[in-house]
Structure 1
């Protein structure tokens, strides 16, 4: 009759230099390292029997413990999404089952919550950036946030706040384009707000509430300056073609037809 092999026993537990880490010896031979929380969870003590199956379970739990510690370090002082934590742990070449077990533990302890992250992100962007909801949505998708969570998080940035922020942004843009005709300035402000991620409806409300001051003298100065450049550029054409090309170019730049025609009429008088 074959004698049954004895189950290894814990004969010694020593501390590592790294705080919270221990070395376990089975039958006076070094067996494996573990963290303090795993040691407590499995109630590991001197004289305890640990068979192969239990040892594998302990080692798997220790892998999760190490991954969890790395995740906590990554989370320190910052909210993170599940995708960001997952990517960070993958960089450490941690196996996928361990990563998933780590994320599960983080969820259970409310240390990772994509909806909470998205809500905080939207509030911060609304308060500190010039980005509208379209850009914010795109950024959240990149961070792995699901559509339902994004939709709920955007409630933190209501339309009234978007309009208020948009007016401030629009005024900065209009100052930048102040040398353009008013109609062209409005067009560029609209394009700028679209680029920053505001929706068409909100942009319309923004433009309606903005005050685009028209200085007739400055408008006239702008037109005369542009007219001179365009008129000279078209001097190689016959007079009728020159008028048509000049009128079309200046109208495309946002100047009023009556004002353009007035300058063209002056050129007629100089013929």
Structure 2
């Protein structure tokens, strides 16, 4: 195996490319310690040793990321990518934490919906879960399992603002309807509960 490039990525870190493929990031002192130079051969044993070391670090980083809060698989992957780990190492770290059930996107989606369903519409929650990288299948399953009812949610939202929608003027109804729409409720639902003329 040949070191094809040593690319500086900040003050004291260097990206190491072996056979035209990015492999890992090392500190300057490690580059000197191992005597790594561009266009020089690197022993297979050293590559294996360094790769195993980075797999351990990635697993630890993934565990640390989950220590204080639940995260989605995509969120963990993004954090590990940002830290400079390769796809192969990231996959090993993800499989490791999954094997202990520390990452479970369906569980995450159910918990997220359970916490947010009182204050957000189904559409808002769906959008936020998609941004977090949760699959459509997991989102639908979680919505089915957790979402009490969008009709109950809109009723709660309206009752926070007014006792009876009949007491509101047409303009006040329109303003409240616009607010509900911005929160992600569908127009059919808004019309029905706001008693708006079509």
What's the TM-score bracket when you normalise by the shorter of the two chains? 0.5 to 0.7
1:80/1:100 CA distance change after superposition, 3 Å? same
State how far apart, in whole Å, the 1-side matches of 2:156 and 2:137 are.
Answer: 30
Which of these two proteins has the greater Rg computed from alpha carbons?
1
**Cα offset for 1:203?**
2.9
Q: Which runs of 4+ in 1 moved over 6 A?
A: none
Which residue among 176, 179, 194 is the counterpart of 2:181? Answer: 194
User: Paired residue for 2:3?
Assistant: none
State how far apart, in whole Å, the 2-side matches of 1:123 and 1:58 are.
Answer: 44
State how far apart, in whole Å, the 1-side matches of 2:80 and 2:173 are.
Answer: 48
TM-score of the two chains, using structure 1 as the length reference = 0.50
Aligned residue pair count: 153
User: Paired residue for 2:6?
Assistant: none
Which residue among 99, 103, 115 is the counterpart of 2:94? Answer: 103
- Contact residue 174 and residue 185 of structure 1 kept, 8 A: no
**SS class of match (1:137):** helix
Which residue among 114, 121, 126 is the counterpart of 2:117? Answer: 126
Q: How does 1:102-181 map to 2 (within 5 A)?
A: 102-127=93-118, 130-155=119-144, 156-159=146-149, 162-174=150-162
Runs (5+) with no aligned partner, structure 2: 1-32, 35-42
- Contact residue 83 and residue 144 of structure 1 kept, 8 A: yes
**SS class of match (1:145):** coil
**Cα offset for 1:91?**
1.8
State how far apart, in whole Å, the 1-side matches of 2:96 and 2:186 are.
Answer: 39
Runs (5+) with no aligned partner, structure 1: 1-29, 32-51, 209-271
| Deviation digits for residues 155-182 of structure 1 (CA, Å, limit 9, x no counterpart) | 21132xx33332232234448x9xx962
State how far apart, in whole Å, the 2-side matches of 1:116 and 1:58 are.
Answer: 36
- Contact residue 133 and residue 197 of structure 1 kept, 8 A: yes
1:158/1:181 CA distance change after superposition, 3 Å? closer
Is residue 52 of structure 2 the alignment partner of residue 61 of structure 1?
Answer: yes
